[in-house]
Amino acid sequence: MSYKKKLIEVALPLQAISKEAAREKSIRHGHPSTLHLWWARRPLAAARAVLWASLVDDPSAHPDRFPTEEDQAAERQRLFDILTELVKWKNTNNQDILGRAKAEIVKSCDGELPNILDPFCGGGTIPLEAQRLGLPAYGGDLNPVAVLISKAMVEIPPRFAGMPPVNPESRQRLTSESWEGARGLAEDIRYYGQWMRDRAFEKIGHLYPKAELPNNSAGAQGRRGAGAQGRRGAGAQGRRGAGAQGRRGAGAQGRRGAGAQGRRGATVIAWIWARTVQSPDPAWDGHVPLVRSWVLRKRPKKPIVWVEPRIDRSIQTISYEIMEGGSPASGTIKRAVGTCIATGSVIPNSYIRDQGQKGRMKTQLIAVVAEGNRQRIYLPPSTTSLPDVNVPGNVPSIRLSTHPQYMSVPPYGMTHSDDLFTDRQLVALTTFSDLLDRLRPIVAGHARNASLIEDGIRLRDGGSGTVAYAEAVLTYLAFVVDKLADRNSLLCSWDTGKEHHRNTFARQALSMAWAFVEANPFSSSTGNWKGQVTWVAKVLECLPSQGSAEILQRNARARIQSVPISVVSTDPPYYDNVPFADISDFFYVWMRHNLSDIWPDELSTVVTPKTEELVADAKRYGTRQAAQQYFEKGMGGVLKETAKAQNSDFPFSIFYAFKQAETKRGTTVSTGWETFLQALHDSGLTVTRTWPMRTELANRLRASRSAALASSIVIVCRPRPPDAPMATRGELLAALRSELPSALRLLREQAIAPVDMAQSMIGPGMAIFSRYSRVLEADGTAMPVRSALALINQILEETLSEEETEFDYETRWALTWYQQYGAEAGPYGDAETLSQAKNTSVSGVVKAGIATSEGGRVQLIPSSNLDHYNPKTDPNPKVWKISQHLLAGLERSEAEAAALLREVGPGYGDHARQLAYLLYQTADRQGWTQEAVAYNTLVTVWPTLTELAARPVTEQASLLES
């Protein structure tokens, strides 16, 4: 089967792609991830790059136009230049750059644009980027939350593109202003979001009183003392929680303060509550707090601010005051085991759980955070008086999953979704939800006045008139309710470094927060309603809002069958990773409450579908074996459908995350990774390339120094020809030995980090293995993927070891010595024996500045002991010495390492980088983490060092001086 190779099957500017993918994590306003929370989204830059490179021809596909390798390299660089600009966030909607990128797609596709399909679309990244590139986009997902998020990104905006806002305020000031894209819809979201905020404040604003503070209050220091806990301590947990504040104490002002005079009010940002349980020690008759840390602020160049619990043993009460400076007390709970703050008695986790399940866990206000003049003001609980709250009867509620790994709250009595909120939070969420119904006819009326067509067609049926427009506005504002729930549950905690509260899903789980934060939706700080409205509106302004797109709630196989000829690019479930169906119920219960009339099909079930979710979850399927079989069967079926439906002119691309390795019988394996590759092979697909995509890029020394694997691997596949031959184990080995060395060299040219090399080599290795219909072992059985991966790793090790012959004798000695002794000293006799085998001497390696020899012990000189090095004065430079000095220089500055690289030249430089790969392999294998990170960093920043080294000498000098 012949086909034109696409760029992704030959080369990619990985550094540029990874750099932009990493940068997206610092981009908030306008980024699609801020429309609505969805987990494990792929970066837009990575998805855009993969799609574009999957459609654009590699120059090698046109030997008539690019006959030589030099011609192909030049053309490839031209394509790289386009792609490098295309993936930048600032160019997301740059029509000139998008136009150039689209022209290349049209040229490579002979004018016929293919359908792009993501059958596991999740948060909608891949359909969105397909739409941005002007391609017909199709997506599907089983989870209704994911489906509605994707619809809101790619289906709805194009229907109202270019339309001005309909609200009367904006229409009064309409001029010739351009309303391109969904900017008009975004403007209406702001207007109607403000309308909801105003109506909600009229109804429930009194539930969020201001805090009283003295006129001289500044920054952290507020009043001391606060409501006494213990026998009078605070309402019950969850729906029964956080209401009744202890009414005892007023306390003295300041740390040594002077009474409360001249009080003024300050808007509260957050109330910080501690969970409490009755002390199991009979010596204390009352509740005690469970707090992991008492710290409220811990920032550089600022004094620490913390809560000091004050224990009055005479009346057995606990009060709280705010302290600045000094040393905070230790927390009272660690790893779910508590300590009674009054008696020191241990509070077992089993006791805490029992109290929660019996409804006896309570809450106590311990601090108040108010808005100050460009700062936070920390106050004791006595500065605010909270009114009683009556929870309405229309609160939606569903039973939560009890998955032990991702749902840590049910064992503490929070078994239903409404248990995750305080009474006041439930009142706020239901109030905003009820306003959506009141808003619908108002928006429809304004749309009618703005001359939108009154066709009566609903949004779900493809409408774009008055009815559909009102439903679109309500859909986005219902997302704001979801975002408010994420920012306002009793699982939100306080971030002492950033001085704001974390959202519920700070990680992919519903995790217990012992001290939780209740935010004020009417403040102007983190977690407020208006801020969430702004996030949604900014996303709408940045969406492409063009072309066609269709997102359906289907399982993956059904969705593939519904778009029979397509280019599939997807980010499938990762074996036994998080079952999103369990945690997404947190949002689904509110979505269904607010949008079931607008999206009745997607929101027809009481909870999100769980049975068909394609994840190897042992909890759900009983045993690990049953879960693995379910995943293998399901994923195999999806991949077989893909092989049949895939447009044969293009490759199939898959984003696949790493599964943590496990050791079995001395062999390191990755069940999820191997299971997926086995399913690929069995479905009739052959792997043509694998690319590591990093979203935590350490290409600057001051960036994250980590030897962690790339965030995900992009696997590029083609259908295997039906007439593919069989092969023996020996034939496979011969092919691997013949082809993998050149693949290794190419990957190095692409600046693949050492930590990613083994996974990156899976691509060319599996391309060889999967080109055969079967590879037969000596006993006639078919070789499994696990055995093939072992052979690929074996050849990789052989290839790396053979490269040792390219080094000087002293470097070969040092490499072998490092493999045996690492940074430790070894016997002189061993060093002498090794030196004879390597055609050198111990005195030679000592003279070369590679090792020391004292008292019968020989030791490599660590890079941390090396000073500045001038290779021009070294009569016989050694690769080992250069590599160690590069490490030492990099530790001081990139400029110094780049200056050394410039002085030694590309020949020695390439050998030093080559050696760094080998040293990383050794350090990683031996578990020398710090050294592995150092060598990985050296290779990872190599493109930066090369770029700096190419600058003029005068510029190098100025960099060093700075």
| Residue indicated by tokens 């031209």 | 78
**For residues 488 and 516, is the Cβ–Cβ distance under 8 A?**
no
User: In this predicted structure, what is the pLDDT of residue 237?
Assistant: 42
pLDDT at 233 over 80: no
**For residues 428 and 204, is the Cβ–Cβ distance under 8 A?**
yes
User: In this predicted structure, what is the pLDDT of residue 249?
Assistant: 32
Other beta carbons less than 10 A from residue 321's beta carbon: 26
User: In this predicted structure, what is the pLDDT of residue 93?
Assistant: 93
pLDDT at 167 over 80: yes
Give the model confidence (pLDDT) of 99-157 as tens digits. 999 999 999 999 899 999 999 999 999 999 999 999 999 999 999 999 999 999 999 99
pLDDT, mean of residues 334-354: 96
- With vertex at residue 213, the alpha carbon angle to CA 211 and CA 218, rounded to the nearest 5 degrees, is 120
User: In this predicted structure, what is the pLDDT of residue 588?
Assistant: 98
Asked which of 66-75, 216-225, 712-721 is least confident by mean pLDDT, the reply is 216-225
Give the model confidence (pLDDT) of 7-26 as tens digits. 999 989 988 998 899 888 88
pLDDT at 227 over 90: no
For the chain, give the percent of residues with pLDDT over 90. 64
At residue 779, what is the residue type?
D
**For residues 41 and 116, is the Cβ–Cβ distance under 8 A?**
no
Give the model confidence (pLDDT) of 397-427 as tens digits. 999 999 988 899 999 999 999 999 999 999 9
Torsion on CA atoms 81, 87, 91, 92, rounded to nearest 10: 150
pLDDT, mean of residues 452-459: 95
Please list the residues that pair with 270 across neighbouring strands: 369, 519
pLDDT at 506 over 80: yes
Give the model confidence (pLDDT) of 459-504 as tens digits. 999 999 999 999 999 999 999 999 999 999 999 999 999 999 999 9
How long is the chain? 962
- Pick 323 or 806 by higher pLDDT: 323
pLDDT at 961 over 70: no
Which residue, among 754, 743, 668, has the nearest Cα to 710 in the 3D structure?
754
Q: Return mean pLDDT, the chain.
A: 88
User: Would you place residue 215 in the very low, low, confident or very high pLDDT band (cuts 50, 70, 90)?
Assistant: low
**Beta-strand relationship, 317-324 and 662-664:** unpaired
Distances (CA, A) of 44 to 151, 178, 373, 755, 822: 17, 26, 37, 24, 42
pLDDT, mean of residues 954-958: 56
Give the model confidence (pLDDT) of 804-862 as tens digits. 778 899 999 999 899 889 989 999 999 998 888 888 999 999 999 999 999 999 999 99
pLDDT at 303 over 60: yes
pLDDT at 640 over 80: yes
Torsion on CA atoms 901, 902, 907, 908, rounded to nearest 10: -40
Distances (CA, A) of 758 to 730, 754, 815: 22, 8, 20
**For residues 904 and 882, is the Cβ–Cβ distance under 8 A?**
yes
C-alpha to C-alpha distance for 77 and 67, rounded to whole angstroms: 16
C-alpha to C-alpha distance for 355 and 338, rounded to whole angstroms: 13
User: In this predicted structure, what is the pLDDT of residue 671?
Assistant: 62
pLDDT, mean of residues 574-585: 87
For the chain, give the percent of residues with pLDDT over 70. 90
- Pick 673 or 889 by higher pLDDT: 889
pLDDT, mean of residues 277-285: 95
C-alpha to C-alpha distance for 451 and 235, rounded to whole angstroms: 53
Give the model confidence (pLDDT) of 890-921 as tens digits. 988 899 999 999 999 888 988 998 899 889 88
- Residue 128 in tokens: 């969105």
pLDDT at 750 over 80: no
Please list the residues that pair with 265 across neighbouring strands: 212
pLDDT at 259 over 50: no
User: Would you place residue 960 in the very low, low, confident or very high pLDDT band (cuts 50, 70, 90)?
Assistant: low
Give the model confidence (pLDDT) of 924-949 as tens digits. 888 898 898 898 888 888 888 888 88
pLDDT, mean of residues 70-90: 96
pLDDT, mean of residues 621-627: 89
| DSSP, res 679 | H
Which residue, among 567, 579, 705, 588, has the nearest Cα to 630 in the 3D structure?
579
Radius of gyration of the chain (CA): 31
**For residues 839 and 850, is the Cβ–Cβ distance under 8 A?**
no
pLDDT at 242 over 50: no
- Binning the chain into helix, strand and coil, the percentages to the nearest 5 are 45, 15, 40
Indicate the pTM of the whole model: 0.85
Please list the residues that pair with 722 across neighbouring strands: none
Which residue, among 892, 912, 893, 891, has the nearest Cα to 901 in the 3D structure?
912
Asked which of 64-78, 212-226, 375-389, 603-617 is least confident by mean pLDDT, the reply is 212-226
User: In this predicted structure, what is the pLDDT of residue 29?
Assistant: 86
C-alpha to C-alpha distance for 270 and 207, rounded to whole angstroms: 13
C-alpha to C-alpha distance for 254 and 274, rounded to whole angstroms: 22
User: In this predicted structure, what is the pLDDT of residue 510?
Assistant: 95
